[in-house]
Structure 1
Amino acid sequence: MAVDERTPVIIGVGQFTERIDDPDYRGMSAVELATAAARAALQDTDADAVQVAAAIDTVFGLRQFEISGPMPAVLGKSNNYPRSVMRRIGGDPARVVLEPVGGQSPQKLVTEAGNTIVAGEADVVMIMGSEAGSTAKYFADRDDKPDFTENIDGQLEDRGHQIFSYIDEYTVAHGLTGAPVQYGLLDNARRARLGHSVARYRREMAELFAPMSKVAAKNPFSSSPVERSVEEIETVTDENRMICDPYPRLLVARDTVNQGAAAIVTSVAAARRLGVPERNWVYLHGHSDVVEQPLLDRADLGAAPASAMAAHEALRVAGIDVDQVATFDLYSCFPFPVFVICDALGLAPDDPRGLTLTGGLPYFGGPGNSYSLHAIAETVARMRDTPGRFGFVGANGGIASKYSAGVYSAEPAPWRQSRSAELNAQVVALPTVPVTKRADGTGTIETYSVRHDWPVRTGIIVGRLDADGSRFMATSEDPDLVAVLAEADPLGAAVTVTSTENGNRALLR
């Protein structure tokens, strides 16, 4: 099939992982990790790496945890992460961008790169990401801390971290300061809708994730290449301690990693000009980017309609149905985002095609905002090996707040636009639930989590007031209520809630 010369193609992908038990472990910086991945992507083009690096005119950089909020970078950072990497590989792009927080960003940026190429605004684009959480932990208590500070001159389009698009003063005051507790609310809300017991739902989560660990065990880029059984994942032990209900450690994304990934997207004309063989070209057949309602507005906290819409739309744009997909990589920070797409597409947890190519975030590694760039790299490699087949990548961001989906194939295809703007308008128009921020009176528990990661075991509650059905948040250190939350099944339990200057407090009624 002949395609237009402005058609985008992925010509190179690269990954890098540094494990703390590696004999040559040195605690690399985010810039160094991304540099290693970018060099691997250049080599992967099977063209002149120096020439390709020099031709890169646009770079999209993914944000690391250390620059994803107002907290300081303890070991120092570059003031221009993308240009720090490009200087190391011999590139001097006209434009570099630093993307906001969000795990959907890698797939969203592949689509954005494609649109800029089609519009003639770019020819050769690199997308890069890295996370140095292992380095930060390794040097935390050491006196020989490195200084990764770099000051690089040059243009930078910093889109801001935008972390407060996911959280605000109200949710932070009520304990939603980390992903495990945030997603714990969502998984427990889904359990409420299904009517499952605590034990049954934990078993289903373990059955969903155990096959992923088998993939991770064989992936040379995995941070924890260890196969785990269903029983090992669901059983709480000293090693597999509870983090936030309903998650023991082996159901939680592993963010203490040193990983980097990169992808190079060009026009067909640029790929030919650079001498990249056509066997390396992979096309984005379908794509979609949809934004969910704010967390507490959602009618059903156990559902994610925007994610489902994005998955269906990417397949529609590609012109295929789910049965034609050969590989999947579904964002798996916790079970909830995987369940959502399985529910939407009719996938069984034990689908013989598998639900990941990397091994999943708890086992392969969860390098912050850049995980799905690894998923894209794995998908591109698989599509090259199986021409004519399709690979699906689902990338989730925030508190199931944004979802970007992509369908890849080595089969040539024209660039197609999605209906993402229309779908986003549909999400905005969905029903919402009123929220009472200062709550006083009686109510029931709609969903919950328990923070076992705090010095005092604390219950986090989303409830409904009996008076008007409005939604509220509350926390509790009350031993009786926390015991019910952590050791029984509190869904629908009656509580009394009282507002204070520091947030709402709940007691068992």
Structure 2
Amino acid sequence: MTDPARIPVVVGIGEVADRPDAPGRGSVGPEPAALMAEALARADADAGGGWLARVASLDVINAVSWPYADLPARVADLIGHRPARLAYGPVGGETPVRFLHEAALRIARGEVEVAALCSGEAEHSAGAARRAGLKPERDAVPPWTAPDPAWTNPRARDYLHPQALRHGLSQPVFVYPLYETALQAAWGQTPRQGRDESAALWSAMSRVAGANPNGWLRRPFAAEEIATPSPANRPIAWPYPKLMVANPVVNQGAGLIVTSLALARAAGIPEHRVVPIGPGAAAAEPRDWLARDRFDHAPAQDAVLAETLRRAGFAPPDLAAVELYSCFPCVPKMARRSLGLPADAVPTVAGGLTFFGAPLNGYMAHAACAMVRALREAPGAAGLLYGQGEFVTKHHALVLGGRPRAPADAPVSVQDEADRRRGPVPPVVEAATGRATLETHTVLFDREGAPERGVVVLRQGGARLLARVPAADRGTLGRLTDLDRSPVGGEGRLRTAPDGLLEWEAA
């Protein structure tokens, strides 16, 4: 279909970074809803003005840093317009890509003429206020929206296996390292080689963030600084130190406005500033990470990336820019290999979740804004956005740029293909004796950099099990953190601790 009224395009982008050192800023900055409203206003201005009042569909990306009773309604109040469709999304780092894709499909189907999405978080302000004994709803200027006493944190992990919860592996920062160590072994790397690859990649991302006026840590970091533990770069969960994990302590907002090519032309927007939205795809891994077949691949990621490019008719070398989600190094390292990108590729246009900043679920909205800016400088070129949510769980990719075209009728989901690529899943057992083989592992550290405990994923026969390595077992912890020899595949002995959890000692 070539009807310009059915061809979706991005016409407006807006971002805001509320830095605590900004001249004239008060002790507490704007609330998340205000950051969203300001980002949408900037997107409207970027598109030439007059678009916000025409928005018929607005997706608000889930915000965690402040407990709102009705965040979308608050954003609508602040922009002075309530769209006919006003929706609030679930938790997930892939949701900005999903919402941008869905907005494009609504335009293509003729359901709406103008759509928008926005994100905003103020975790830095909220945390600083708590430490200072301030109440943003009282002490900020203007005051923040009154907190909802019935609000519950949307990041509950009750869907995880009880063994994962008992061992404390209920946060992404403790689970993604399991992928990292398994992947290093599968790729034939020593932990030192894996660390150095991560550090070089993150250093390149820091240079992109340093040149991005909306970034949070706006200076380049050397690979050695990223790789080396220090008081400013303490170890978090082996093998990741602080400078290899997402940084959510930021105040950032983003907004995008989507319409048809016909309306963009009617508004007189120059053709080079109109960025077409191309095809995309989505799939998921089993939500409970212990129900995965292996930890050295992500079938949903592979299926989504391959199908998105196939639908667009592109090979990876055809892409002028890519943004591969970067909450932790294993994610873009896997995606780079899946796409066949060269080892020196820099898979970000925004700067990555460590250095640009990680406004929780909203980073990919900023990445989309950065991609639009890059493609406006290269009319006709194409870029790839790839977002991920939860624990290597939810995957969504989308092409921007290229020739204007209406989306195909193919379903967004490629779940069948992802499932086809997945192998058998071992059952999880809670009690075992004897010897067991290491499948993957991490070591958790305290704030002073001392190891608190190791957690190992083991295989015994056809079963999978979790076990602890106590802090007192320095020999096994040393084996788990040896930079020059991967422990994956090694054997050890099991015992049951007084609290009922299994413990493992390397043989």
Q: 1:379 aligns with which of 344, 348, 371?
A: 371
Instruction: Name the CA distance, whole Å, in 1 between partners of 2:370 and 2:54.
Output: 24
Instruction: Name the CA distance, whole Å, in 2 between partners of 1:166 and 1:370.
Output: 23
Write the deviation string for residues 176-199 of structure 1: whole angstroms up to 9, x where unpaired.
132221110110010121232221
Contact 1:474–1:503, Cα closer than 8 Å, also in 2: yes
Question: Which is worse superposed, 267-276 or 308-317?
Answer: 267-276
* 2:394 aligned with 1:394: no
* 2:298 aligned with 1:307: no
Sort the Cα spacing of 1:266 and 1:162 in 2 relative to 1 into closer, same or farther, 3 A.
Answer: farther
2:81 maps to 91
Q: CA deviation at 1:395?
A: 0.9
Contact 2:35–2:253, Cα closer than 8 Å, also in 1: yes
Query: Please, which runs of 5 or more residues in structure 1 have no aligned partner?
Result: 67-72, 153-157
Write the deviation string for residues 28-57 of structure 1: whole angstroms up to 9, x where unpaired.
2111211221111111111x3xx3111111
Kindly report the root-mean-square deviation, in angstroms, between the aligned alpha carbons of the 2 structures.
2.5
2:120 maps to 130
Instruction: Name the CA distance, whole Å, in 2 between partners of 1:405 and 1:165.
Output: 27
Q: CA deviation at 1:172?
A: 1.9
Question: Which is worse superposed, 366-375 or 160-169?
Answer: 160-169
Q: 2:440 aligns with which of 447, 451, 465?
A: 447
Sort the Cα spacing of 1:84 and 1:278 in 2 relative to 1 into closer, same or farther, 3 A.
Answer: farther
1:332 maps to 326
Contact 1:175–1:475, Cα closer than 8 Å, also in 2: no
SS of 2:83's equivalent in the other structure is coil
Q: 1:425 aligns with which of 416, 426, 429?
A: 416
2:34 maps to 32
Contact 2:445–2:453, Cα closer than 8 Å, also in 1: yes
Write the deviation string for residues 127-172 of structure 1: whole angstroms up to 9, x where unpaired.
11112111122112212221233489xxxxx9x9475486343322
Q: CA deviation at 1:349?
A: 3.0
2:111 maps to 121
The percentage of aligned residue pairs carrying the same residue is 31
1:490 maps to 487
Instruction: Name the CA distance, whole Å, in 1 between partners of 2:327 and 2:405.
Output: 31
How many residues get paired? 486
1:349 maps to 343
* 2:321 aligned with 1:319: no
Question: Which is worse superposed, 209-218 or 433-442?
Answer: 433-442
Sort the Cα spacing of 1:272 and 1:165 in 2 relative to 1 into closer, same or farther, 3 A.
Answer: farther
Write the deviation string for residues 420-446 of structure 1: whole angstroms up to 9, x where unpaired.
43x302323432222223132131221
SS of 1:15's equivalent in the other structure is strand
Q: 2:180 aligns with which of 164, 187, 190?
A: 187
Sort the Cα spacing of 1:502 and 1:274 in 2 relative to 1 into closer, same or farther, 3 A.
Answer: farther
Contact 1:462–1:474, Cα closer than 8 Å, also in 2: yes
Q: CA deviation at 1:484?
A: 3.0
Write the deviation string for residues 473-508 of structure 1: whole angstroms up to 9, x where unpaired.
222324223343235643224131437766433344
1:282 maps to 275
Q: CA deviation at 1:277?
A: 4.6
Question: Which is worse superposed, 394-403 or 479-488?
Answer: 479-488
2:250 maps to 257
Question: Which is worse superposed, 296-305 or 181-190?
Answer: 296-305
Sort the Cα spacing of 1:271 and 1:233 in 2 relative to 1 into closer, same or farther, 3 A.
Answer: same
Q: CA deviation at 1:22?
A: 2.8
Query: Please, which runs of 5 or more residues in structure 2 have no aligned partner?
Result: 138-143
Q: CA deviation at 1:313?
A: 1.2
Sort the Cα spacing of 1:227 and 1:439 in 2 relative to 1 into closer, same or farther, 3 A.
Answer: same
Instruction: Name the CA distance, whole Å, in 1 between partners of 2:155 and 2:230.
Output: 37
SS of 1:14's equivalent in the other structure is strand
Instruction: Name the CA distance, whole Å, in 1 between partners of 2:321 and 2:158.
Output: 32
TM-score, length-scaled by structure 2: 0.89
Q: 1:108 aligns with which of 98, 115, 120?
A: 98
Contact 1:475–1:506, Cα closer than 8 Å, also in 2: yes
* 2:286 aligned with 1:266: no
Instruction: Name the CA distance, whole Å, in 2 between partners of 1:262 and 1:502.
Output: 49
* 2:489 aligned with 1:463: no
Instruction: Name the CA distance, whole Å, in 2 between partners of 1:370 and 1:417.
Output: 28
Report matched runs for 1:360-375 at 5 Å: 360-375=352-367
